[in-house]
């Protein structure tokens, strides 16, 4: 219970803040014809979608300012309340607070990642440290934590108890129990890391946008027609005098490295791709990495952990760095052995063609593609016509229907944030609205590379049945007007992967925002996405949806069989490029006192320690390892894809054991305990509820074809 004097002070502060909020709103609502700010209005739009046609960059700063003031006032009211702490007046009040801030933040950061421009980047640089400081002030608010600490656990149901546990742990892990001097230092660390993470991402985007390899007709030998057409359009879009332009979009880089007969150009493009964030000058990320690693180690030490890796993993399924290394070591040994065999095979092919050089990293994809064609009589030009974007999305929708009873109807005429973006209403088997699904498929210079799922609104039922608005972002090469977008098998797999994340968000069925959708352990969150990938290559799915873009004919059975047969092809390479990145991530964050670390030299040393094959590069070189350094989401956590793969391989076996990849009983358990459950349970408990036991790595090794790999 706070003193009367303190209560009066808090109440005055609360009233003052409320007046400031209203003043801010009134200022920007005054001229409704020109200066109207959509963030100060109720969105009476279809599905409550943001009115993107009315939102301009200048709306964000005042909207953020107003939302921050409002949230501060809400927190002050919760922390200063006189009545005894209860789940309702503390935890539920916290869950309701900050809605305006979440609304503007979700719109802004989605646009900053998908349709960035200088005005948005400037706002991001300004707001990221402010938002970090705001979050730190809340998580280290002593009065608020005392209220949380005092909430009685008796009489709570399972979901309430879980939310209380998660929120309490979040506050402790954010520094709520530190002394005042430690809290002040923690706040400075958090704010500085936000600045550095933003700069890391913007540097990477700048390097990706700035590079272009200008080519003429003589430079295009071996390239498929689709890539040639895309490169011609890119040259025209950039106003270049050359006939073709290759950029650092992965949708350009991968097919170029696989098909170009010009080794010199492959080397140039590959070196530029791996050097993103390491080109020197203003966009170089090495000094940023060094400072981030040092600050993270200091943060962990303040919280009582020996290293940042120990801190981060304490709240995961893995629990300890030793457990992560144990899994990585087991898979690395077999993966590296297979990769060395693959390298020898590629060298043999190059030698047979009279090549007078040792296979290098920029050669791998080229010769691997040729070897794949020789072994399986398959190349991308043969496969892509059967993987048209619309058909593959229809396949993903159909799988979701067969597993979970969902249907998808495109909703045209909505005000979306880019002309390429599309929206689909999702309904359940009873015809009730479930979610709005938004698809942003095509690469553009203003979009961050990669693929991801995010949300404009998450599901929750604390105040009515709030339905989610979920976004999938891809970076597929955009075709010419009237032409179909064709995918590689890897791109089709990525679409299924991200749609698995989307289903995790759309099917969420919880009361509280804190445990909604993908709000689960970082090494559990990839289970729904990686598991969903399995259905792409189910024979009956391919027979129905892998149809030739021109003839409409189903994929020939012999081609289908060859595609299925090559599922474990090149898995040594895939395992090594992934695991090496996971090792380096863990090594950086296992440093207890990382002062003045030379990130480039440290990376080389760690790769030497695991005997990294010279012919393979890390999937994510440190300088552009956005998963790890553009925010804390996957820091000391890149291993989680592999950890989740142990789960997804074993989980799909649950279907195979029935003889039906769509077995309704297993699908119902999957829906109940994984896809709709959010963070209701500890990950181990959720998996056991679905499967009856925890998995072993055996299914993963079989999936990758590494079960018998040996040195």
Render pLDDT for 526-563 as a digit per residue (tens, 0 to 9). Answer: 999 999 999 999 999 999 999 999 999 999 999 999 99
18, pLDDT greater than 70:
no
> Domain of 660: which CATH number?
1.10.1370.10
Residue with the larger pLDDT of the pair 79 and 11: 79
Q: Are 126 and 152 in contact (CB under 8 A)?
A: no
Total count of residues recorded for the chain: 711
Instruction: Identify whether 112 is part of a domain.
Output: yes
| Full domain range(s) for residue 529 | 384-549
Q: At 418, phi and psi to the nearest 5?
A: -155, 145
Instruction: Identify whether 335 is part of a domain.
Output: yes
10, pLDDT greater than 80:
no
82, pLDDT greater than 50:
yes
The pLDDT confidence band at residue 127, using thresholds 50, 70 and 90, is very high
Say whether both 436 and 363 belong to one domain. no
Please write the tens of the pLDDT for every residue from 360-388: 999 999 999 999 999 999 888 889 999 99
Residue with the larger pLDDT of the pair 22 and 331: 331
Could you tell me which of 207, 260, 90 has the C-alpha nearest to residue 621?
207
Q: How far apart are CA 248 and CA 447, in angstroms?
A: 12
678, pLDDT greater than 50:
yes
Say whether both 580 and 654 belong to one domain. yes
Question: Tokens at residue 60, please?
Answer: 């964000």
pLDDT at 200: 96
In Å, how far are 48, 54, 422, 444, 501 from 415, measured between CA atoms?
11, 9, 10, 20, 24
Q: Are 635 and 296 in contact (CB under 8 A)?
A: yes
198, pLDDT greater than 90:
yes
Q: How far apart are CA 286 and CA 293, in angstroms?
A: 11
Please write the tens of the pLDDT for every residue from 631-641: 998 999 999 99
Q: What is the mean pLDDT of residues 321-337?
A: 97
> Domain of 70: which CATH number?
1.10.1370.40
Please write the tens of the pLDDT for every residue from 458-477: 999 998 999 999 999 999 99
14, pLDDT greater than 90:
no
Instruction: Identify whether 617 is part of a domain.
Output: yes
Instruction: Identify whether 116 is part of a domain.
Output: yes
Say whether both 584 and 471 belong to one domain. no
Q: How far apart are CA 422 and CA 440, in angstroms?
A: 7
Say whether both 317 and 233 belong to one domain. no
Instruction: Identify whether 563 is part of a domain.
Output: no
Q: What predicted TM-score, i.e. pTM, was given to this entire model?
A: 0.91
Q: What is the mean pLDDT of residues 604-625?
A: 96
Say whether both 615 and 482 belong to one domain. no
pLDDT at 593: 86
63, pLDDT greater than 50:
yes
623, pLDDT greater than 90:
yes
Say whether both 237 and 350 belong to one domain. no
Question: Tokens at residue 50, please?
Answer: 């943001």
Q: DSSP per residue over 232-248, as a string?
A: HHHHHHTT-SSSEEE-S
Average predicted confidence (pLDDT) for the chain? 93
**Looking at the annotation, which residues are catalytic?**
498
Residues near 707 by beta carbon (within 8 Å), at least 6 away in sequence: 334, 698, 701
pLDDT at 35: 62
Question: Tokens at residue 450, please?
Answer: 């990669």
Q: At 425, phi and psi to the nearest 5?
A: -85, 135
Say whether both 452 and 305 belong to one domain. no
Question: Tokens at residue 262, please?
Answer: 């010009």
Say whether both 322 and 418 belong to one domain. no
Say whether both 350 and 417 belong to one domain. no
Instruction: Identify whether 111 is part of a domain.
Output: yes
The pLDDT confidence band at residue 708, using thresholds 50, 70 and 90, is low
Say whether both 302 and 442 belong to one domain. no
- Tally the domains of the chain: 4
Question: Tokens at residue 699, please?
Answer: 């299914």
Say whether both 100 and 120 belong to one domain. yes
Q: Cβ of 158: how many Cβ atoms within 10 Å?
A: 9
Say whether both 464 and 332 belong to one domain. no
Instruction: Identify whether 624 is part of a domain.
Output: yes
Percent of the chain with pLDDT over 70: 95
């Amino acid at each position: 219970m706070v003193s009367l004097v303190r209560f009066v002070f808090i109440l005055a502060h609360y009233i003052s803040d409320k007046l400031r909020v209203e003043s801010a709103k009134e200022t920007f609502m005054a001229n409704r014809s020109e200066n109207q700010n959509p963030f100060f209005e109720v969105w009476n739009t279809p599905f409550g979608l943001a009115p993107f046609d009315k939102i301009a960059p200048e709306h964000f700063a005042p909207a953020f300012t107003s939302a921050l003031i409002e949230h501060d006032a809400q927190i002050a009211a919760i922390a200063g309340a006189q009545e005894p702490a209860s789940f309702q007046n503390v935890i539920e009040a916290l869950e309701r607070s900050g809605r305006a801030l979440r609304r503007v933040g979700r719109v802004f950061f989605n646009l900053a990642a998908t349709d960035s421009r200088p005005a948005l980047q400037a706002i991001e640089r300004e707001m990221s440290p402010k938002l970090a400081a705001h979050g730190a002030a809340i998580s280290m608010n002593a009065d608020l934590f005392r209220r949380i600490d005092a909430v009685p656990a008796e009489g709570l149901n399972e979901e309430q108890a879980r939310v209380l546990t998660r929120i309490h742990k979040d506050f402790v892990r954010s520094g709520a129990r530190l002394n005042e001097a430690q809290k002040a230092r923690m706040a400075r660390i958090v704010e500085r890391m936000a600045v550095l993470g933003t700069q890391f991402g913007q540097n990477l985007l700048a390097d990706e946008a700035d590079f272009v390899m200008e080519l003429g007709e003589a430079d295009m030998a071996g390239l498929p027609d689709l890539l040639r057409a895309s490169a011609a359009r890119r040259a025209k879009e950039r106003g270049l005098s050359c006939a073709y332009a290759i950029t650092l979009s992965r949708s350009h880089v991968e097919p170029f490295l696989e098909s170009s007969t010009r080794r010199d150009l492959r080397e140039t493009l590959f070196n530029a791709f791996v050097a993103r964030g390491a080109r020197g000058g203003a966009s170089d990320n090495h000094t940023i990495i060094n400072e981030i690693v040092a600050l993270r180690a200091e943060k962990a030490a303040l919280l009582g952990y020996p290293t940042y890796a120990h801190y981060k993993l304490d709240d995961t399924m893995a629990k300890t760095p030793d457990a992560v290394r144990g899994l990585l070591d087991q898979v690395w040994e077999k993966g590296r052995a297979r990769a060395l065999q693959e390298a020898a095979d590629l060298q043999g092919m190059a030698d047979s063609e009279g090549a007078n050089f040792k296979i290098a990293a920029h050669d791998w994809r080229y010769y691997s593609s040729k070897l794949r064609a020789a072994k399986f009589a398959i190349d991308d030009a043969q496969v892509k016509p059967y993987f048209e974007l619309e058909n593959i999305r229809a396949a993903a929708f159909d799988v979701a229907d067969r597993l979970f009873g969902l249907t998808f109807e495109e909703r045209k005429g909505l005000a979306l944030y880019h002309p390429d973006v599309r929206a689909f209403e999702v309904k359940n088997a009873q015809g009730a609205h479930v979610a709005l699904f938004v698809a942003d498929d095509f690469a553009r210079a203003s979009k961050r590379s990669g693929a991801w799922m995010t949300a404009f609104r998450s599901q929750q039922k604390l105040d009515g049945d709030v339905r989610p608005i979920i976004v999938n972002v891809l970076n597929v090469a955009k075709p010419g007007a009237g032409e179909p977008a064709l995918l590689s098998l890897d791109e089709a797999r990525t679409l299924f992967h991200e749609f698995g994340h989307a289903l995790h968000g759309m099917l969420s069925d919880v009361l509280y925002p804190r445990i909604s959708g993908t709000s689960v352990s970082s090494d559990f969150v990839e289970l729904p996405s990686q598991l969903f990938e399995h259905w792409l290559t189910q024979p009956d799915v391919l027979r129905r949806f892998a149809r030739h873009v021109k003839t409409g004919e189903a994929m020939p059975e012999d081609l289908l069989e060859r595609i299925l047969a090559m599922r474990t092809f090149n898995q040594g390479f895939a395992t090594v490029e992934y695991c090496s990145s996971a090792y380096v991530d863990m090594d950086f964050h296992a440093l207890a006192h990382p002062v003045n670390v030379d990130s480039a030299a440290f990376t080389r040393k760690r790769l030497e320690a695991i005997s990294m094959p010279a012919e393979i590069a890390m999937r994510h070189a440190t300088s552009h390892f956005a998963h790890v350094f553009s925010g804390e989401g996957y820091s000391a956590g890149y291993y989680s894809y592999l950890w989740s793969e142990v789960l997804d391989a074993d989980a799909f076996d649950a279907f195979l054991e029935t003889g039906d990849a769509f077995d309704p009983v297993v699908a119902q358990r999957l829906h109940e305990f994984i896809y709709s459950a959010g963070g209701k349970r500890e990950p181990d408990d959720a998996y056991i509820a679905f499967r009856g036991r925890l998995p072993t790595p055996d299914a993963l090794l079989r999936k990758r074809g590494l079960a018998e790999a040996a040195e």
